[in-house]
C-alpha cells in the first residue's frame, strides 16, 4: 500500500539521483517500498513505533520513508553532520527500534555504538551498504524480502523530525498518524500547496538540500504524491544545480537564501551558459532573504520565485508570490494555513504595523516528544501556536518578520541555538563564563560568535581560542562551532545571573569581525 493522490503511469520516472546514477520509475519505487515495508514488519515494528535514518541523500531514504508510511510507523531523519552525542540523544529520545546508517555515516554510528553502547543496545542496527562491526546489511532485504499476502490495515506512518529546543537539545515534533480509512485523502494543505506552487503530475522538482530537513523531505514526498518527478542532488553546488535544471528540464525547485547568494556569486558567463527556461516555479524559506539578494534572483530568473514562512511544527504557514513581494519587499506573505495574530508580551493583540510575537490560530496541533513544558510554551491561552518569532502585519495582512526567535542564530538556513554552544564551551576548565550571539555574514546570513571570560591566569590569545573551539568540536556539529571568538574580562549579567544578551548582540553585530578567527573544525 502506497499513499498517493495521483495515479501516474507506473513506467514514469519518479526519482532521479544523478550522483548515484539511479532513476526509479513509480513501479520500481513502489516495489522497493513494499519489500522494505515487509522487511520492517519482520523487525517486529508495531503501529506508532519508529525508525531512525542516518543517511545522506540516496534512494534508500525515500524508499524507507514510504515503507514506514505503509506500515504505520514514524521515521526520523538525522542530520549527517551531527556529533555522535547529538545522534545519541535523538536515537534515545525518539525511541526508535530500528537504526539504519550507510558507509557515509558509519564512522559516526560506530562512535556512538562504541562510546555509548546503552544508546543502541535496544535498537536493531543496520546499514544499507555492506555489513560491518555490529551493523547488519539490509541492502538485499530492501529489494528482495518476501512480501506478505497483504499489509496490515494500520494508520499511515509519517515523519517525526527534530528541531532544537530552548536548551539547545533537539526536540522531536510529533503529529498524529493518519487513520487507515483516510489513507488516500490529501494531507491538510496539500491541495492549497499544489495550487500555490503550481504543482501537478507534469512537474520535475529539484531538491539540492538534505532530505533529513523538513522542507526538502516534505516537498519531495508531496511531489511523489502529486505524480511528479523529483531530482535529488547529494548536496548543494551552484553549477551542479544549474546543470541539473538544464539536463532534467526542471520545472520546480526549492532553495534557501544562502544558496541564492552562492548562485549569484557565479560569473555572469557561467550563469548565462545554462538553459533555465523550463523552470515554472521556485520557492525559498528557512531564513530571511536579504531584499537585494531576492531582487537579483528575480531579475535573473524572472517572476517565478515564491516564498513561504513556516516551521517543522507546521503551526501555521504564510506564502507570498513574486508579484506580491515586489509590492512589499521583505514580506513573507499572508497566512495560507491558520490566522496570523501579533501579540504583545501581555498577550494583547496589536494593530497593523506594531511588532510583537507571531501566533497562528486554527492550524493543526503538534507536540514536542517527551517535553510537555515546551509543548505548552508553544501555545497561548486561546490555543494559538507560535514559532517564537516576532514581527508585524501590514494593513492587508502581510507578515514581516523582525527577528527569528530572540536568541536564534540562522546560518545557511540552519537553526542554531546559542545555549547549546555555551553549554559545551562552559565545560572547558579554562572558561569562567561564555555567551554566543549571531553576527552578520554575507554568505550564510549569520555565523556564531563566542564571547568568553577566562579563568585567572589563562592567556586570551589565538592558541586559547583554537583550543576552546577544538574542545567544542567533539560534541557539536561543524556548523554550530563559533567562527570568531572574543575574550572579555566579564560578561554583562543582572544580579539574578540573567545574561544581558541584547547588549552583546548590539555591539558585535556592529563589529562582526572582532575577535580571533577560528576554523569550523576548531583547528
Cβ-contact 31, 67 below 8 angstroms: no
Pick the closest to residue 98 from 157, 44, 28, 140 (CA basis): 44
Query: Please, which pLDDT band fits residue 167 given cuts at 50, 70 and 90?
Result: very low
pLDDT of the residue at 228: 97
Q: β-pairing, 334-337 with 317-320?
A: antiparallel
pLDDT digits (tens, 9 = 90+) for 64-107: 999 999 999 999 999 888 888 888 889 999 999 999 999 999 88
Q: What percent of the chain has pLDDT over 70?
A: 94
Query: Please, which pLDDT band fits residue 165 given cuts at 50, 70 and 90?
Result: very low
> SS3 letters for 390-439?
EEEECCCCCEEEEECCCCCEEECCEEECHHHHHHHHCCCCCEEEEEEEEE
H-helix segments, 236-336: 238-248, 257-264, 268-271, 291-301, 322-327
pLDDT of the residue at 360: 97
Within 10 Å of residue 166's Cβ, how many Cβ atoms?
16
Pick the closest to residue 220 from 210, 483, 37 (CA basis): 210
Cβ-contact 435, 503 below 8 angstroms: no
pLDDT of the residue at 403: 55
Pick the closest to residue 188 from 165, 140, 156, 144 (CA basis): 156
**What average pLDDT does the chain have?**
91
pTM of the predicted model as reported, rounded to 2 decimal places: 0.81
Q: Which three cell numbers stand for residue 18?
A: 544523478
**Which domains occur in the chain, in start order?**
26-185 (3.40.50.980), 188-306 (3.40.50.980), 310-406 (2.30.38.10), 409-517 (3.30.300.30)
Only one residue has cell 541539473, namely: 244
Query: Please, which pLDDT band fits residue 168 given cuts at 50, 70 and 90?
Result: low
pLDDT digits (tens, 9 = 90+) for 208-229: 999 999 999 999 999 999 999 9
Amino acid at each position: 500500500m502506497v499513499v498517493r493522490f495521483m495515479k501516474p503511469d507506473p513506467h514514469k520516472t519518479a526519482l532521479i539521483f544523478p550522483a548515484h546514477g539511479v532513476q526509479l520509475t513509480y513501479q520500481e519505487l513502489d516495489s522497493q517500498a513494499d519489500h522494505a515495508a515487509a522487511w520492517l514488519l519482520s523487525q517486529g515494528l508495531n503501529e506508532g513505533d519508529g525508525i531512525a535514518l542516518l543517511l545522506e541523500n540516496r534512494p534508500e531514504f525515500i524508499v524507507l520513508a514510504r515503507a514506514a508510511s505503509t506500515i504505520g510507523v514514524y521515521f526520523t531523519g538525522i542530520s549527517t553532520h551531527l556529533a555522535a552525542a547529538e545522534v545519541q540523544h535523538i536515537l534515545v529520545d525518539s525511541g526508535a527500534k530500528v537504526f539504519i546508517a550507510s558507509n557515509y555515516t558509519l564512522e559516526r554510528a560506530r562512535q556512538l555504538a562504541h562510546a555509548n553502547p546503552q544508546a543502541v543496545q535496544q535498537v536493531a542496527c543496520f546499514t544499507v551498504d555492506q555489513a560491518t562491526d555490529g551493523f547488519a546489511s539490509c541492502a538485499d532485504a530492501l529489494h528482495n524480502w518476501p512480501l506478505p499476502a497483504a499489509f496490515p490495515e494500520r494508520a499511515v506512518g509519517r515523519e517525526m523530525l527534530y528541531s532544537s529546543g530552548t536548551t539547545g537539545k533537539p526536540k522531536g515534533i510529533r503529529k498524529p498518524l493518519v487513520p487507515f480509512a483516510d489513507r488516500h485523502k490529501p494531507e491538510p494543505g496539500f491541495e492549497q500547496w499544489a495550487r500555490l506552487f503550481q504543482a501537478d503530475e507534469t512537474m520535475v522538482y529539484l531538491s539540492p538540500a538534505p532530505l533529513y530537513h523538513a522542507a526538502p523531505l516534505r516537498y519531495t514526498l508531496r511531489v511523489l504524491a502529486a505524480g511528479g518527478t523529483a531530482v535529488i542532488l547529494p548536496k548543494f553546488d551552484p553549477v551542479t544545480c544549474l546543470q541539473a535544471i538544464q539536463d532534467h528540464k526542471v520545472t520546480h525547485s526549492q532553495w534557501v537564501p544562502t544558496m541564492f547568494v552562492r548562485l549569484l556569486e557565479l560569473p555572469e558567463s557561467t550563469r548565462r551558459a545554462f538553459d533555465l527556461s523550463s523552470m515554472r516555479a521556485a520557492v525559498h524559506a528557512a531564513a530571511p532573504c536579504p531584499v537585494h539578494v531576492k531582487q537579483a534572483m528575480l531579475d535573473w530568473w524572472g517572476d517565478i520565485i515564491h516564498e513561504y514562512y513556516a516551521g517543522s511544527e507546521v503551526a501555521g504557514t504564510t506564502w507570498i508570490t513574486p508579484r506580491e513581494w515586489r509590492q512589499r519587499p521583505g514580506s513573507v506573505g499572508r497566512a495560507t494555513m491558520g490566522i496570523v495574530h501579533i501579540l504583545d508580551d501581555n498577550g494583547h493583540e496589536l494593530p497593523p504595523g506594531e511588532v510583537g510575537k507571531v501566533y497562528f490560530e486554527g492550524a493543526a496541533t503538534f507536540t514536542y516528544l517527551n517535553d510537555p513544558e515546551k509543548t505548552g510554551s508553544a501555545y497561548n491561552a486561546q490555543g494559538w501556536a507560535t514559532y517564537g518569532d516576532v514581527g508585524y502585519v501590514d494593513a492587508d495582512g502581510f507578515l514581516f518578520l523582525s527577528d527569528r526567535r530572540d536568541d536564534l542564530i540562522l546560518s545557511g538556513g540552519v537553526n542554531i541555538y546559542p545555549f547549546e554552544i555555551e553549554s559545551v564551551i562552559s565545560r572547558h576548565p579554562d572558561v569562567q563564563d561564555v555567551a554566543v550571539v549571531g553576527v552578520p555574514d554575507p554568505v550564510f546570513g549569520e555565523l556564531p560568535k563566542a564571547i568568553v571570560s577566562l579563568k585567572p591566569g589563562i592567556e586570551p590569545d589565538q592558541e586559547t581560542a583554537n583550543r576552546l573551539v577544538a574542545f567544542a568540536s567533539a560534541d557539536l556539529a561543524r556548523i554550530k562551532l563559533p567562527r570568531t571568538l572574543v575574550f572579555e574580562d566579564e560578561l554583562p549579567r543582572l544580579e539574578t545571573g540573567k545574561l544581558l544578551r541584547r547588549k552583546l548582540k548590539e555591539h558585535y553585530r556592529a563589529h562582526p569581525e572582532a575577535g580571533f578567527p577560528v576554523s569550523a573544525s576548531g583547528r
